Amino acid sequence: MAIARIRITGNINRSMAGVYQNIIDHVRSSRKFKAAILEISSGGGDATSSQILFESVRSLNRDKPVYALISGVGASGAYWVASASKKIYAMSTSLVGSIGIISLNPNITGLLEKLGIEMNVYKIGKYKDLLSPFSAETSEEGLKNFRESLNDVFSVFRDNVAQQRKISEEEMEIIATGEVFSSKKALSLRLIDKIGSYQDVLDDLKENEKVQGAVRLIQPRRNFISRIVGGLVYEFLSQIQ
């Protein structure tokens, strides 16, 4: 019998989601793991990748208890992932929340004009160049449609959190503003269950869920080139110390 310890750090993207999805699925299907602790330190990432990890964690939590610890930052898509857990903890210095969606689109037409560069755009489809950095014209109708698409994605995020954390629609109007909160504020808003350390999470998990066994850290395996380079760097540093 063992408890899986999974660290999710850095930007959440499709590649990362695929790797951690495999790890989470392995923990769910393995008989030796009876529970899992997610250690999360991330500012989020793209919505689809975050939803993939959310669904994986939620599926695992249906079969085995999952407790999450936000260490550092657990914001945006990272909080989305954490919300799939049975309980969420955060360290006293952590930042939590940022429930919202953002899309950044630079426009460099002014720079090109100063440089004397003319960009010719040939398109098929009324709004095909809506988000192009080379397009000087913006369609209000196109932007309205795009904002509606963003709102649809936001609604999935917001509703998942509301359902998992049992927060009312009225309360979510206050919470889901894209704001990040201190652990103390997040606790009062019921975004987390307790302020504590990793040891607190482990102790509570064992007591509440009646699970025992050694904790096994499961992390992504570096590819062959990374392992070779890492080994060479370690050898070099060992020689100069």
Question: Can you give the pLDDT of all 241 residues of the chain as single tens digits?
Answer: 899 999 999 999 999 999 999 999 999 999 999 999 999 999 999 999 999 999 999 999 999 999 999 999 999 999 999 999 999 999 999 999 999 877 666 777 777 778 888 777 767 777 666 666 666 566 677 677 767 888 888 899 999 999 999 999 999 999 999 999 999 999 999 999 999 999 999 999 999 999 999 999 998 765 544 444 444 444 444 444 4
Kindly state the DSSP code that residue 142 receives in the 8-state scheme.
H
- The amino acid at residue 100 is G
Six-digit token string for 105: 């689109």
- The amino acid at residue 27 is V
Distances in whole angstroms, Cα of residue 153 to Cα of each of 58, 139, 161: 18, 21, 13
Return left, alpha or beta for 218; rule: phi > 0 is left, psi -120 to 50 is alpha, else beta: beta
In the chain, CATH 3.90.226.10 covers 2-98+179-240
CB 161 within 8 A of CB 82: no
d(CA 42, CA 69): 12
Six-digit token string for 210: 């009646």
Q: What is the pLDDT of residue 148?
A: 82
pTM of the model: 0.81
Please state, rounded to an integer, the average pLDDT across all residues of the chain: 86
Q: What is the pLDDT of residue 136?
A: 59
| One CATH from 3.90.1170.50, 3.40.1390.20, 3.20.20.150, 3.90.226.10 for 2-98+179-240 | 3.90.226.10
CB 96 within 8 A of CB 42: no
d(CA 121, CA 169): 44
Q: What is the pLDDT of residue 107?
A: 72
Q: What is the pLDDT of residue 173?
A: 92
Which residue in this structure is represented by tokens 């208890």? 65
Q: What is the pLDDT of residues 136-166, one digit of tens each?
A: 566 677 677 767 888 888 899 999 999 999 9
